Structure 1
Amino acid sequence: MPPADHGHLRPIDTRDPISRVMRRIDGERIIELLLELQAIPSPTGYTDTIVHYVCDHLKGLGVAYEITRRGAIRVNLRGDVYSPDRAVVSHLDTLGAQVTELKENGRLSVRPVGTWAARFAEGARVTVFTDVGPRRGTILPLKASGHTFDTQIDTQPSHWDNLEIRLDERVSSYGDLVGARFNVGDMVAVDPQPEVTPAGFINSRHLDDKAGVASMLTALEAVLAEELPLPVDCHFLFTISEETGSGASSILHGDVSELLSVDNATVAPGQNSSEYGVTIAMGDMTGPFDYHLSHGLINLAERHGIEHSRDVFKHYRCDAASAIEAGNDIRTALIAFGLDGSHGWERVHIDSLVAVARLVAVYMASPPVVARDTQGLGPIEGFPNVQE
């Protein structure tokens, strides 16, 4: 893999508010917030509790916020200029599952919520949210006992049709399930099982995108603590349906001219993502990100000594895509933390999350990338030309 664009964090100048903000952003705080977020189940379609958690956290910080009917959150931070403004977005929802059948053997058939492979669901401990409260269980393949099925365990296809939930309840028939108040459509949350190692690695499910949320909240705390001046109004957005595609489609307003999405970078063969820095995505499966905004972020990373790399993601989309598809005329970009094993057993290094949080903070303090964006429809004067 080509080397990353390594940088060295510039010496801290206590007279410089940006330097003070970057110093405040540390891994311990990000991990603390991340573990709190991971403790709250939030598969797409079942996000109310985590919305309340984030809103309570924002209230404690004393920032103004508002929510949509379904629970997407928009934080409103005042800058020197009211409009046009910018937004930074991550998503609170995670992968999960949903009950599709009550089976005659007292188990539950499931389908995925979001796109993830059945092989990563096998063996997962889960919570099934029924009308009468949460119940515990395990996702298992249909042929799960080696003493019964021998080598058939290894030859059965890895597919959601070959999975079922074994419940930790005294149920062994369809009637037992009905009597215990299980229903088709019950939401299923998968345990994250986070582990932080002494080397700074965090292993867990659902780092996508709770690690991004933790990084954003840490950046926000640092910006507020140092009273960092903002050149334009800035909105922090937390969406609730990115994993199923709609994401930031309904949380924006017409004044936003720049949207920065914070999500995961795919650390894998053939990719150029930085596992220990921030990855600035130049494109994903929906096409290139905005040239000027992406290069503006590269310049910020270089100027402030934030380790970074550039990458293009072939099988990936984020909140930025749903915002564009909803008809918003905005520049979009994506910065990402290096994630190994995305949508499975995920791993991130804390240095990458710190780099993401620091780039978010310096972006908030930077001027708009294109001055002409004060206009929506207007004359050509001031419109940038990348070939000049």
Structure 2
Amino acid sequence: MKLLPIDTDYLTDILLKLLFTPSPSGYTDRVVHLVCEELERMKVPFQLTRRGAIRASLAGESSEHDRAIVAHIDTLGAMVKGLKDNGRLRLVPVGHWNSRFAEGARCTLLTDSRQHRGTILPMKASGHTFAHEIDEQPGGWDNVELRIDEVVHNLPDLLKLGVRVGDYVAIDTAPEITDTGFINSRHLDDKAGAAVLLAAIEAIMRSGVKLPIDCHPLFTIAEEIGSGASSVLHQDVAEMLTIDNGTSAPGQNSSEFGVTIAMADQTGPFDYHLTRRIIQLCQEFEIPHQRDIFRYYRSDSAAALEAGNDVRTALVTFGIDASHGYERIHLDALESLTQLISIYMQSPALFLRDRYDIGPLTGFPSQPA
């Protein structure tokens, strides 16, 4: 195992490409094509599930014990709940996010035949008209509406335009990378994780290092609505590392710098041995890191286990401020995480016994007494 040089220009370039490709859960075909084109360019073989989850393959010296590394490429968004008599649209969220972060957002309405630009606004949006009533109106998705940039005054105008209940709304990401290394954007969860995984693959392919076991980079398309890595795994995968965001907020130990290793989330602790292997790799290769626990959080790992996969899982994250809102991360965390992922790809299998679905006690690990 060795530290590989990370191409940060590629890392930020592919991150921006991902951020500029709308992919609310359920409307992910375009971003699937983008990731597949990147894998083809790097000559990495891959397969797709029926709905578009991607399973790539990096061949190792042994195929008896496979590992997977997963990031999700779907994001939050919204759908049209109803067409209003004033020519505006009622919305419901896709994924779990607060309507206060939608207020003022520029977005794209995706109908069956066309795209329309628009803005999500609170019901009372004009200070010159409503004065203090603006501050007194309640929040919630029932109290916002989508104003589209078309000549529409009523319900018949909307129907003529082809707008229908169930149309998707993709929220503008508006990314900005500052001279100080901060990256501000919507949907860094988990486009930044996907960029990290692609950058780690790029480093492996460019360096030509040999992997000890087969590694499957996975890109899932429904994590924000709960199903995540439930259908893209196969029984040959014994250990899976998930890449997602860590919440750097009061009461949390996550950071926008270095790697944040999750010890547990709302679904329970992550695998003891795989998590300690990740900590050991950070210590051995002097990758800055910290540990955290997330109380209101789940990831691709939970979806994989709930679907019945008997796989060891761990979660590594980039610290993100204002998750599911106006998000911010730092390039330092993405570089550290890419280094860790490329090292993990080079590491030996956690336990040789894990190559069997079920077996004897021999070779089964033991935790410290």
1:191 aligns with 2:172: yes
State the Cα distance separating 1:276 from its structure 2 match: 0.6
Which residue is equivalent to 2:88? 107
**Which letter maps to 1:174?**
L
Q: Is residue 51 of structure 2 the alignment partner of residue 70 of structure 1? A: yes
Give, in angstroms, the shift of residue 149 of structure 1. 0.8
Following superposition, the deviation at residue 131 of structure 1 comes to 1.6
Assess if the C-alpha contact under 8 Å between 1:284 and 1:317 holds in 2.
yes
In the aligned structure 1, how far is the partner of 2:196 from the partner of 2:243? 9
Question: Which residue does 2:157 correspond to in 1?
Answer: 176
2:104 aligned with 1:129: no
- Between the aligned partners of 1:26 and 1:295, the Cα distance in structure 2 is 27
Partners in 2 of 1:54 and 1:29 — Cα distance? Answer: 14
In 2, Cα distance between the equivalents of 1:370 and 1:83? 12
Report if the CA contact (8 A) 1:27-1:351 is conserved.
no
1:84 corresponds, among 48, 65, 83, to 65
Letter in 2 for 1:361: S
Correspondence for 2:273: 292
- For residue 313 of structure 2, give the secondary structure of its aligned residue in structure 1: strand
Asked whether the equivalents of residues 65 and 352 of structure 2 are also in contact (C-alpha less than 8 Å), the reply is: no
- What TM-score do you get using the length of structure 1 for normalisation? 0.94
Secondary structure at the counterpart of residue 211 of structure 2: coil
Equivalent position to 2:244, from 259, 263, 282: 263
Partner of 2:209: 228
For residues 317-356 of structure 1, what are the structure 2 equivalents within 5 Å? 317-356=298-337
Cα distance in 2, alignment partners of residues 62 and 139 from structure 1: 41
Does the 8 Å contact 2:235/2:357 carry over to 1? no
Contact 2:76 2:93 in 1 (8 A): yes
1:304 aligns with 2:317: no
Alignment deviations for residues 206-234 of structure 1 (CA, whole Å, 9 cap, x no partner): 00000001111011000011111111100
Q: TM-score, length-normalised on structure 2?
A: 0.99
* 1:10 match: none
In the alignment, structure 1 residue 240 sits paired with structure 2 residue 221? yes
| Stretches (4+) displaced over 3 A | none
Gaps (5+ residues) in structure 2? none
Q: Is 2:8 the partner of 1:32?
A: no
Matches of 1:360 and 1:50 in 2, distance apart? 22
Give the Cα separation in 1 of the matches to 2:262 and 2:349.
19
Q: Report Cα offsets for 1:91-131 as digits up to 9, x if no partner.
A: 01000000000000000000000000010000000100012
- How far apart in 2 are the matches of 1:379 and 1:145? 70
Aligned partner of residue 360 in structure 1, secondary structure: helix
Q: Does the 8 Å CA contact 2:81/2:89 hold for their aligned counterparts?
A: yes
What does residue 6 of structure 1 align with? none
CA contact (8 A) 1:18 1:228 kept: no
Task: Indicate which of 133, 136, 142 corresponds to 1:155.
Answer: 136
Give the partner amino acid of 1:375.
Answer: Y
What's the offset of the Cα at 1:203? 0.3
Letter in 1 for 2:276: H
Q: How far did residue 29 of structure 1 move?
A: 2.1
Q: Judge conservation of contact 1:292–1:370 (CA < 8 Å) in 2.
A: no
Q: Deviations over 1:122-144 (max 9, x none)?
A: 00001000122110100000011
Contact 1:79 1:232 in 2 (8 A): yes
For each residue in 1:244-286, what CA deviation from the matched residue of structure 2 results, as whole angstroms up to 9, or x when unmatched? Answer: 0001000000010001000000000111112210111000000
Gaps of 5+ in 1: 1-16
Give the C-alpha shift of residue 370 in structure 1. Answer: 1.9
Q: Secondary structure at the match of 2:169?
A: strand
> 2:205 is aligned with what amino acid?
L
What is the rounded CA distance, in whole Å, between the counterparts of 2:355 and 2:104 in structure 1? 53
State the SS of the aligned residue for 1:77.
coil
Contact 2:121 2:145 in 1 (8 A): yes
Match of 1:7 in 2: none
Give distance in 2, aligned partners of 1:134 and 1:371.
52
**Code of the aligned partner of 1:373:** D
Please list the CA deviations of residues 61-96 of structure 1 after superposition, one character each: whole Å capped at 9, or x if unmatched.
111100011000000111011022000000010000
* Residue range with higher mean Cα deviation, 266-275 or 319-328: 266-275
- Which one-letter code corresponds to 1:46 in the other structure? Y
Residue of 359, 362, 365 corresponding to 2:340? 359
Cα separation, 1, equivalents of 2:7 and 2:251: 30
Q: Does the aligned pair in 1 maintain the 2:7–2:203 contact within 8 Å? A: no
Aligned position for 1:13:
none
In 1, distance between residues paired with 2:235 and 2:363?
Answer: 20
Q: Distance in 2 between matches of 1:58 and 1:229?
A: 18
1:279 is aligned to 2:294: no
Q: Offset of 1:158 from its aligned partner?
A: 1.1
Once residues 293 and 74 of structure 1 are traced to their aligned partners in structure 2, the CA distance between those partners, rounded to angstroms, is: 21
Paired residue total: 369
